[in-house]
Every structure is written in structure tokens, then in C-alpha cells.
Amino acid sequence: MIKKITDKDKEDWEKFLKNKEKISNKDLVIKNNIRHEKIKKIDLHGYTIEEANKAIEQFIEKCFDESVTKVIVITGKGLRSKSIENPYLSKDLSILKYSVPEFIETNRTLIKMIIEITDAKIEDGGGGAFYVYLKKKKMSIEKKQSLFNLFPLALFRDKIEITESERKILINEILLQEKNSKNTIDKGVKPAWTGDTQGYEFLFKNKKFEKLFSLISASIKKYTNIIGLNNDKFNFYYQRSWATISRNNENIYAHKHHQSHITFAYYLKKSKEDGNINFHNESLQNEIAPQIFNARSVEGFFKTNLLNAQVATFAPEVDEILIFPSKTMHSTSSNKTSEERISIAADVTLVAKDSTNSENLLPPIDQWDKF
């Protein structure tokens, strides 16, 4: 049964025709919005057919690898092509305007990379150009080249914020400790002043540093959480804590903290010019031959990067804290200024709240027996 068109149907149709809103091209919207448009252009003017085919094949493959979304191919309109005069050639396929799209569409490798080929707009060449829209490259496990950094050392950097008045109080307290050093013989010519060798190794017990250590404690637990520890299973203890003052070419030699689990360096007073902290790579995981990455190796044998570096240097700023395993070899660069570089360090030990069935963790201290 054929339904009769009513006056209402006609009225709705008239309204539709007068409506200025356009129905969106679903495929075009998807194509344009999948990812940010990245465009490249190639001009094939003056190429022979063979040269053009080779050039466009290499260009599209390169664009596909570089995640280009749209290629503008300029061929010209072929009005000056001498191939037209050759009676043994197809009139259309002898002109790049026609032969290049034909070559692309019949190339099994290229066509897998392409969404569609369309005519170009006037501003891009009109009838003498066309667009090639490329798919997003999917990296297969078989073809993808990957470098995996296994067993990385995790250094945690955080910001500890205190007021300038609080900073001044702490700096003055540390300078007073330096003035009242208990073991001045220990300090050599170049090493910096360290409070742990001068009778001030329990800074966390000093009431003036109570707020600072509360903030540092929170940062330490952030670090242990990031590396995968369940903080609820451990009690955290500060073993020792001290200040370090470096000035006039003074530094700290490479060393480890063997008696603890976690160490940190917090910068109470620091400028950009007064030296850095260095971490030394003892494992040399990528040293495929002994000393191959040694700085004294024959010039040109290697280029230093993070995969072969023997020392990594950090340039911390004031109020920054670096937290790392105590077993990590570290040192500081010489202070090249006359101003003090003042940092605070500490040794932290983790003790299991319940060490049942675990032989590797320190058991609860209240279960220890002093003799």
C-alpha cells in the first residue's frame, strides 16, 4: 500500500530544505578528529612517470612512519606534458595527474597505509594536486624496536617548603654547631664540614628542626610507596641526621651509608653556582667489555648517555630533597663560591612491625634483647 503524501509531510520537507544546518559527513568527521592533523607536501613537477612513482612511494612510507595524517601531492595539470604527443601511451596515464593516483591505488603496500585519496582544494593546487589521507601506524610487537631499561635506580625528588624566617633560624643553628665543633682535627683541607663527625649527629632531636623532619618524613613515605613498599607494615626510624656546610672549593668525597636503608639530602641553603650532587654507577649493567665506557678510552669509542654513564649529576635547588637507597655511591661537587651551601642528611632504617616468617627484615625492636 502506497502512503499518500500529506500537507504536513510537504511542510516538513520545505522546512528541511530551508534549514541552514548541514548534515555532517560522518566519515570526514572521524578522519579529521582522530588525531591532530600533521601535513606534508611533495611537488612532482618535472618528474618522469618512473621517477614520480618511486618518489611518491618513498615519501608516503616516510610520512606514514612519522605519523603524518595528510599528504598534499602536487602533480600539475599535465597541460605541458610531452607524453601526450606519444601515440603509444594512454593519454590519461601518461600524465602525472592521473598516473600517480593510479600507481598509489594499485600498490598493495601503500594502499594499506591510506584512508582515502581526494581532490585538492584550489588553494592547494586544485586540479593539479590531490590529498592522500594516511592511517595511524600500528606498531606490532614483532616489528617494533624497543629498549627496556631493566632494574632502574629510583631517586626521588620532592619539595619541602618552609618559611624564610624558619630557614633563618635553622641556618643560624647549624652555623652555631659549626662554630662549636667537637672534633676539628677530623676536618681536612677540602672536605666540607659535617655535623655527624663534630658531635651533632642527631639533628632530628633538636626542637628547632621538628617541623622540618615532620615534612621530610612524609616525603620519605611517598618515596617508599612509589617503589612498592607497604608502609603500613614498617616502622620508620631516623638513626642519625646531620648538617653539611660546603664553601670555598669544599666537597664530599664519594661514599655510601652502609648502616642504613634510606638516605636523603635536603638543601636548606643553595645557589645555582655552588655545586651539585653526583650519583656513581657501580653496577655498569651495560658495560659489555671491561672499561669500554671509561673516560680514558680511545677517543671515538663511545658517546656518553644515561645508558653508559658512570656518574649522573643532579642540580638541586633550595628546599629540594633527594631520597635514595643508602647503598648508593654518591658525592658532591666542589662549591666554587664563597657562600655556604648548607644541606641536611639523615640515615633511615625500616623495621618490620611483624617479622613472622621473614628472615630478611629487621624484626621489631621491642623483641630485641640487650646484653
Predicted confidence (pLDDT) at residue 278 exceeds the cutoff of 90 = yes
Mean pLDDT, residues 129-145 taken together:
76
Give the mean pLDDT of 65-69. 91
Contacts of 261 (CB under 8 A, 6+ apart): 325, 326, 348, 349, 350
> Is residue 245 within 8 Å of 341, Cβ to Cβ?
yes
Predicted confidence (pLDDT) at residue 22 exceeds the cutoff of 60: no
Q: For cell 502506497, name the residue.
A: 2
Distance, in Å, from the CA atom of 350 to the CA atom of 366, rounded to the nearest integer, reads: 14
85: Cα within 13 Å, side-chain hemisphere: 4
pLDDT of residue 34: 45
pLDDT of residue 95: 83
Listed by start position, the domains of the chain span 35-134, 156-367
Share of the chain above pLDDT 70, in %: 81
Would you identify the CATH topology of the domain 35-134? Ribosomal Protein S8; Chain: A, domain 1 (3.30.1370)
Class of domain 156-367: mainly beta
User: Which pTM was predicted?
Assistant: 0.61
Average pLDDT of the segment spanning 135-164: 80
Give the DSSP per-residue string, 225-265.
HHTT--GGGEEEEEEEEEEEEE-TT-B--SB--TT-SEEEE
pLDDT tens digits for range 201-241: 999 999 999 999 999 999 999 999 999 999 999 999 999 99
pLDDT for res 94: 52
Is the confidence at residue 185, as pLDDT, over 80?
no
The pLDDT value given to residue 141: 47
Whole-Å CA distances, 78 to 75, 93, 94: 8, 10, 9
Q: Which three cell numbers stand for residue 251?
A: 666537597
- For residues 180-204, average pLDDT: 82
**Span 245-264, average pLDDT:** 93
CA 70 to chain centre: 28
255 grid coordinates: 661514599
Instruction: Give pLDDT, residue 26.
Output: 45
Kindly report the CA angle at 12 between 11 and 13, in degrees rounded to 5? 90
